[in-house]
Amino acid sequence: MMKRKRSFIGFLSVAICLTVLSAGCQSKPPAEAPLADPPAQQEKSAVISEPIKVPDKDTQGAANTIPAPANTLSSNEKVSLAGADKETKTETEPPANKGKGTGSNAKPKFEIENPYTQAKPTLLGLTLKTSATEILNKFGKPKDEFVMDDDADPMNVYDYSDFQIGFNSKKEVHFIDVRSSDIDPGLNGLKLGDPSTGISKALGKPTTNTNYVYTYKTSGAILKLDIDPKTQKVNSIKLFAE
Protein backbone atom coordinates (compact mmCIF):
# COMPACT_ATOMS: atom_id res chain seq x y z
CA MET A 1 0.00 0.00 0.00
CA MET A 2 2.84 2.30 0.85
CA LYS A 3 4.53 1.57 -2.43
CA ARG A 4 1.40 2.33 -4.38
CA LYS A 5 1.02 5.59 -2.64
CA ARG A 6 4.56 6.63 -3.49
CA SER A 7 4.15 5.57 -7.07
CA PHE A 8 1.01 7.59 -7.29
CA ILE A 9 2.68 10.65 -5.82
CA GLY A 10 5.61 10.28 -8.23
CA PHE A 11 3.28 9.92 -11.16
CA LEU A 12 1.36 12.96 -9.98
CA SER A 13 4.54 14.96 -9.65
CA VAL A 14 5.59 14.07 -13.17
CA ALA A 15 2.19 15.04 -14.50
CA ILE A 16 2.33 18.40 -12.70
CA CYS A 17 5.80 19.12 -14.12
CA LEU A 18 4.66 18.27 -17.62
CA THR A 19 1.61 20.52 -17.19
CA VAL A 20 3.78 23.40 -15.97
CA LEU A 21 6.22 22.95 -18.82
CA SER A 22 3.40 22.82 -21.35
CA ALA A 23 1.86 25.99 -19.96
CA GLY A 24 5.23 27.75 -19.98
CA CYS A 25 5.78 26.90 -23.64
CA GLN A 26 2.35 28.25 -24.57
CA SER A 27 2.87 31.55 -22.65
CA LYS A 28 6.18 32.38 -24.42
CA PRO A 29 5.59 35.24 -26.90
CA PRO A 30 6.22 34.46 -30.53
CA ALA A 31 9.50 35.68 -32.06
CA GLU A 32 9.18 39.15 -33.45
CA ALA A 33 9.79 39.67 -37.15
CA PRO A 34 12.66 42.04 -38.00
CA LEU A 35 11.40 45.60 -38.34
CA ALA A 36 11.93 47.37 -41.68
CA ASP A 37 14.21 50.40 -41.73
CA PRO A 38 12.39 53.69 -41.33
CA PRO A 39 11.75 55.53 -44.63
CA ALA A 40 14.14 58.28 -43.68
CA GLN A 41 16.98 55.83 -43.10
CA GLN A 42 16.20 54.06 -46.38
CA GLU A 43 16.34 57.35 -48.30
CA LYS A 44 19.56 58.29 -46.54
CA SER A 45 21.06 54.96 -47.45
CA ALA A 46 19.96 55.40 -51.04
CA VAL A 47 21.52 58.87 -51.24
CA ILE A 48 24.76 57.68 -49.71
CA SER A 49 24.86 54.71 -52.00
CA GLU A 50 24.80 56.95 -55.11
CA PRO A 51 28.21 58.22 -56.35
CA ILE A 52 28.91 61.90 -55.59
CA LYS A 53 29.39 63.92 -58.81
CA VAL A 54 32.22 66.43 -58.74
CA PRO A 55 31.33 69.63 -60.72
CA ASP A 56 33.37 70.32 -63.82
CA LYS A 57 35.74 73.29 -64.02
CA ASP A 58 33.37 74.99 -66.47
CA THR A 59 30.60 75.20 -63.85
CA GLN A 60 31.91 78.56 -62.62
CA GLY A 61 32.17 79.85 -66.16
CA ALA A 62 28.59 78.79 -66.88
CA ALA A 63 27.43 80.58 -63.75
CA ASN A 64 29.16 83.72 -64.91
CA THR A 65 27.09 83.70 -68.10
CA ILE A 66 23.90 84.33 -66.11
CA PRO A 67 23.08 88.04 -66.66
CA ALA A 68 23.36 90.13 -63.53
CA PRO A 69 20.46 92.44 -62.65
CA ALA A 70 20.76 95.88 -64.22
CA ASN A 71 22.07 98.57 -61.92
CA THR A 72 20.87 102.16 -62.06
CA LEU A 73 23.80 104.21 -63.34
CA SER A 74 24.66 107.46 -61.76
CA SER A 75 24.57 110.51 -63.84
CA ASN A 76 28.38 110.52 -63.84
CA GLU A 77 28.60 106.97 -65.14
CA LYS A 78 26.07 107.59 -67.75
CA VAL A 79 28.11 110.10 -68.67
CA SER A 80 31.28 107.94 -68.83
CA LEU A 81 29.61 105.39 -70.94
CA ALA A 82 28.64 107.49 -73.07
CA GLY A 83 31.79 109.08 -73.39
CA ALA A 84 33.14 105.73 -74.34
CA ASP A 85 30.43 105.30 -77.00
CA LYS A 86 31.37 108.59 -78.75
CA GLU A 87 35.01 107.83 -79.01
CA THR A 88 34.11 104.46 -80.46
CA LYS A 89 31.96 106.06 -83.15
CA THR A 90 34.72 108.50 -84.08
CA GLU A 91 37.20 105.63 -84.48
CA THR A 92 34.86 103.72 -86.80
CA GLU A 93 34.01 106.68 -88.98
CA PRO A 94 36.18 107.51 -91.98
CA PRO A 95 38.56 110.44 -91.51
CA ALA A 96 37.13 113.83 -92.36
CA ASN A 97 38.11 115.52 -95.59
CA LYS A 98 41.10 117.71 -94.85
CA GLY A 99 40.85 119.68 -98.05
CA LYS A 100 38.32 122.27 -99.01
CA GLY A 101 34.78 122.15 -97.73
CA THR A 102 32.83 119.78 -99.99
CA GLY A 103 29.37 120.08 -98.49
CA SER A 104 27.12 121.78 -95.98
CA ASN A 105 28.55 119.74 -93.05
CA ALA A 106 32.23 120.13 -93.97
CA LYS A 107 34.50 122.65 -92.30
CA PRO A 108 36.76 124.52 -94.72
CA LYS A 109 40.47 124.10 -94.05
CA PHE A 110 42.84 126.77 -95.25
CA GLU A 111 46.15 128.45 -94.62
CA ILE A 112 46.61 132.18 -94.15
CA GLU A 113 48.68 133.32 -97.10
CA ASN A 114 48.23 137.05 -96.52
CA PRO A 115 48.17 137.96 -92.78
CA TYR A 116 46.88 141.33 -91.70
CA THR A 117 48.97 144.49 -92.01
CA GLN A 118 47.80 148.06 -91.64
CA ALA A 119 49.07 148.79 -95.13
CA LYS A 120 47.11 145.85 -96.54
CA PRO A 121 44.21 144.92 -94.24
CA THR A 122 42.99 141.34 -94.58
CA LEU A 123 40.87 138.89 -92.60
CA LEU A 124 41.19 135.14 -93.08
CA GLY A 125 43.87 136.13 -95.55
CA LEU A 126 41.21 137.73 -97.77
CA THR A 127 41.05 141.29 -99.00
CA LEU A 128 37.85 143.17 -99.70
CA LYS A 129 36.52 143.05 -103.25
CA THR A 130 37.55 139.40 -103.63
CA SER A 131 35.08 137.76 -106.02
CA ALA A 132 32.47 135.19 -104.96
CA THR A 133 33.98 132.70 -107.40
CA GLU A 134 37.34 132.90 -105.63
CA ILE A 135 35.63 132.34 -102.29
CA LEU A 136 33.86 129.22 -103.57
CA ASN A 137 37.09 127.89 -105.03
CA LYS A 138 38.90 128.44 -101.73
CA PHE A 139 36.28 127.33 -99.18
CA GLY A 140 33.78 125.33 -101.18
CA LYS A 141 30.01 125.52 -100.89
CA PRO A 142 28.78 127.34 -97.74
CA LYS A 143 26.67 125.67 -95.10
CA ASP A 144 23.97 128.27 -95.65
CA GLU A 145 23.28 131.19 -97.96
CA PHE A 146 20.91 134.09 -97.44
CA VAL A 147 20.25 137.69 -98.49
CA MET A 148 20.74 140.58 -96.09
CA ASP A 149 18.07 143.11 -96.99
CA ASP A 150 19.28 146.61 -97.62
CA ASP A 151 17.37 149.08 -99.75
CA ALA A 152 20.55 150.70 -101.01
CA ASP A 153 22.59 147.56 -101.71
CA PRO A 154 21.22 144.10 -100.72
CA MET A 155 24.03 141.69 -99.85
CA ASN A 156 24.23 137.96 -100.47
CA VAL A 157 25.85 136.18 -97.48
CA TYR A 158 27.76 132.86 -97.41
CA ASP A 159 27.58 131.25 -93.97
CA TYR A 160 30.42 128.79 -93.21
CA SER A 161 29.48 128.51 -89.50
CA ASP A 162 32.91 129.64 -88.26
CA PHE A 163 32.70 132.79 -90.36
CA GLN A 164 30.42 134.69 -92.75
CA ILE A 165 31.26 136.51 -95.95
CA GLY A 166 28.92 139.11 -97.47
CA PHE A 167 28.92 140.15 -101.13
CA ASN A 168 27.65 143.33 -102.73
CA SER A 169 25.71 143.56 -105.97
CA LYS A 170 28.99 143.21 -107.89
CA LYS A 171 29.55 139.83 -106.18
CA GLU A 172 32.63 141.16 -104.44
CA VAL A 173 33.44 140.73 -100.75
CA HIS A 174 31.91 143.59 -98.77
CA PHE A 175 32.46 142.22 -95.26
CA ILE A 176 34.03 139.28 -93.40
CA ASP A 177 32.77 138.31 -89.93
CA VAL A 178 34.77 135.80 -87.84
CA ARG A 179 32.49 133.87 -85.48
CA SER A 180 34.63 131.12 -83.94
CA SER A 181 37.83 130.84 -81.92
CA ASP A 182 38.54 127.52 -83.63
CA ILE A 183 39.97 129.23 -86.69
CA ASP A 184 42.92 131.52 -87.25
CA PRO A 185 41.64 134.87 -88.59
CA GLY A 186 45.09 135.81 -89.82
CA LEU A 187 45.68 138.61 -87.29
CA ASN A 188 49.24 137.65 -86.35
CA GLY A 189 48.13 135.09 -83.76
CA LEU A 190 45.19 137.03 -82.29
CA LYS A 191 41.89 135.08 -82.06
CA LEU A 192 38.42 135.40 -80.64
CA GLY A 193 38.45 135.01 -76.88
CA ASP A 194 41.96 136.42 -76.45
CA PRO A 195 42.57 139.21 -73.90
CA SER A 196 42.25 142.71 -75.27
CA THR A 197 45.71 143.50 -73.90
CA GLY A 198 47.21 141.55 -76.81
CA ILE A 199 45.47 143.49 -79.58
CA SER A 200 48.00 146.33 -79.93
CA LYS A 201 50.88 143.87 -79.80
CA ALA A 202 49.43 141.86 -82.71
CA LEU A 203 48.02 144.66 -84.85
CA GLY A 204 49.74 147.85 -83.78
CA LYS A 205 48.23 151.02 -82.42
CA PRO A 206 44.49 151.27 -83.22
CA THR A 207 42.89 154.28 -84.87
CA THR A 208 40.41 154.48 -82.00
CA ASN A 209 40.32 152.60 -78.72
CA THR A 210 37.48 152.49 -76.17
CA ASN A 211 36.61 150.02 -73.47
CA TYR A 212 34.35 148.25 -75.93
CA VAL A 213 35.83 148.61 -79.42
CA TYR A 214 39.23 148.65 -81.13
CA THR A 215 39.07 150.15 -84.63
CA TYR A 216 41.70 150.12 -87.39
CA LYS A 217 40.89 152.35 -90.37
CA THR A 218 42.70 152.29 -93.67
CA SER A 219 41.86 153.44 -97.13
CA GLY A 220 38.61 151.69 -98.09
CA ALA A 221 38.52 149.23 -95.15
CA ILE A 222 37.78 149.10 -91.42
CA LEU A 223 38.85 146.33 -89.04
CA LYS A 224 36.68 146.31 -85.93
CA LEU A 225 37.21 144.25 -82.76
CA ASP A 226 34.48 144.28 -80.10
CA ILE A 227 35.50 143.70 -76.45
CA ASP A 228 33.44 142.05 -73.74
CA PRO A 229 33.35 144.69 -70.96
CA LYS A 230 33.17 142.06 -68.21
CA THR A 231 35.93 139.69 -69.33
CA GLN A 232 37.91 142.22 -71.39
CA LYS A 233 38.29 139.63 -74.15
CA VAL A 234 37.72 139.85 -77.90
CA ASN A 235 34.23 138.61 -78.76
CA SER A 236 33.84 139.91 -82.33
CA ILE A 237 36.15 140.46 -85.33
CA LYS A 238 34.94 142.09 -88.54
CA LEU A 239 36.49 143.57 -91.67
CA PHE A 240 34.18 145.61 -93.88
CA ALA A 241 34.26 148.20 -96.61
CA GLU A 242 34.29 151.83 -95.52
Does residue 92 fall inside a structural domain? no
Number of domains the chain is built from: 1
Give the C-alpha distances (Å, rounded to integers) separating 14 from 2, 8, 25. Answer: 19, 10, 17
**Is 168 part of a structural domain of the chain?**
yes
We report the CATH number of the domain holding residue 219 as: 3.40.33.10
What 46-52 contacts at long range (C-beta under 8 Å, 24+ apart), as own/partner pairs, is none
What sign has the CA pseudo-torsion 117, 120, 125, 128?
A: positive
In a domain, 173, yes or no: yes
pLDDT (0 to 100) of residue 208: 95
Running DSSP on this structure, what letter comes out for residue 119? Answer: S
Over residues 211-222, mean pLDDT: 93
d(CA 79, CA 83): 6
pLDDT at 38 exceeding the cut of 60: no
Q: Residue 167: what pLDDT?
A: 95
**For strand 155-159 and strand 173-178, is the pairing parallel, antiparallel, or unpaired?**
unpaired
Look up residue 168 and give its amino acid: N
Range of the domain at 173: 132-241
pLDDT in tens, 123-164: 999 999 899 999 999 999 999 999 987 667 789 999 999 999
- Residue 160 lies inside a defined structural domain of this protein: yes
**Single-letter amino acid, residue 103:** G
Does any domain span residue 222?
yes
Contact 128, 174 (CB under 8 A): yes
Residue 170, in any domain of the structure: yes
Q: Is 99 exposed, middle or buried (0-12, 13-18, 19+ CB in 10 A)?
A: exposed
Q: 237 pairs with which residues across the strands?
A: 178, 225
CB under 8 Å to 195, separation ≥6 — which residues? 232, 233, 234
In a domain, 167, yes or no: yes
Residues 6+ apart with CB under 8 A from 122: 114, 115, 116, 186, 239
Residue 110 pLDDT more than 80? no
- Would residue 161 count as lying in a domain? yes
Dist CA 196 CA 181 (whole Å)? 14
pLDDT tens per residue across span 40-79: 444 444 444 455 554 555 444 444 554 554 444 433 333 3
